Chains A and B, each alone.
Chain A
Amino acid sequence: MTKSEPTLPLTPAVFHILLALFGRERHGYDIMQQVKADSGDTVKMGPGTLYGSLDRMIEAGLVAKGNAQDPRRIYYRLTALGQTTLRAETERLSRVARVARRQLGSA
């Protein structure tokens, strides 16, 4: 079911996939490599997790199939809702990080 409002918080897998797709279309293996790089090797995603998440994200309207022409690969891209959701989640995480820094600083 496609929604018009971002649903937060996101799971780490969904957040990293959205981040990897920001600004360009990517195919599955490219997404996995980008997620690994973005997370500093802490999030290693396999094909089962990736395509399960992509199915749910397509259903939620966050991601859509891209237009790149490649007979061997399917490319994915962010939708407008995906971009809004990514920005909203990034803002939410920043707020949490600010609170955490403040509390750790005062401890």
Chain B
Amino acid sequence: MTRPARRKESRSLRLYARLLELYPPAFLQRHRAEMLQNFADLEDASASKTALWLLIGKDLTMSLIPHFFGSRLGNYVIGVVFTWMLLFIIGYFFYGPTPGRPVLHVFPGVLLGMLSLYVATRLHGTPQGSLYVIGVLVAAILVFTIGYFRYGAPGQPILQVFGGFLIGMLSMSIAIRVYGML
């Protein structure tokens, strides 16, 4: 693979190389070397790191969305969100607009858990071998346990969020196994 023609790779370039792993492998196989070269050129021409990373942040977000939602895994995530919306609407008509309903607290946790595992798997390889995932899981279980003993009530919103986080990670882990990455 061609590497950018620079004497020394900057920290920004190394970080960008890491972030590129979020793209599908087939896309990277075609464009990785050139994207790194372009980043190096942009970095050389950029007056400030902030301006450079604002451009790259926007570019990553805008270009990753079509890749993600065009995949089977993306369709799975849309399915989860749609199902939750359906459950929420049904619940709303049966129980009324009660803001303290557990489903409202659990679901953001589910989404964060799914996103967290997806990013971790993209950046660190398989979820099984990732220290990051194990660390997050242990931390989530620890916070959940501490919260449970401190508040002693499973109905605490924060516990529901963390519960949702674990469910989200598990759900995404299963989805990645079934559908594969992008």
Contact = CB atoms under 8 A, between A and B. Distances in A.
B47 to A, nearest CB: 13
Interface string A44-74: 1111111110010000000000000001111
A48 B28 CA distance: 10
Contact of A55 (B30, B41, B42): B30
Contacts of B67: 52
Given A29-B41, A71-B2, A51 B34 contact: yes
Given A71-B2, A72-B2, A46 B34 contact: no
Interface stretch (B52-60, B73-81, B94-102, B125-133): B52-60
A58 to B, nearest CB: 10
A28 interface: yes
Given A51-B31, A52-B67, A71-B2, A44 B41 contact: no
A81 B42 CA distance: 31
Interface centre among A29, A47, A50 (most CB of B within 10 A): A47
A48 B39 contact: no
Given A52-B66, A52-B67, A72-B37, A44 B2 contact: no
A32 interface: yes
A30 B56 CA distance: 17
Interface residues of A, number: 18
A32 B2 contact: no
Contact of A46 (B27, B31, B37, B63): B63
Interface in B41-55: 41-42, 55
Given A29-B38, A29-B42, A72-B37, A48 B64 contact: yes
Contacts of B41: 29
Interface of A is mostly: helix
Contacts of B31: 47, 51
Contact of A51 (B27, B55, B60, B66): B27
Interface centre among A29, A48, A55 (most CB of B within 10 A): A48
Given A29-B41, A48-B60, A49-B63, A73 B34 contact: yes
Contacts of A32: 38, 42
B148 interface: no
Interface of B: 2, 5, 23, 27, 30-31, 33-35, 37-39, 41-42, 55-56, 58-60, 62-64, 66-67
18 contacts: A28-B35, A29-B38, A32-B38, A32-B42, A44-B55, A46-B56, A46-B58, A46-B59, A46-B60, A46-B63, A47-B31, A47-B34, A47-B42, A49-B59, A52-B66, A55-B27, A55-B30, A71-B2
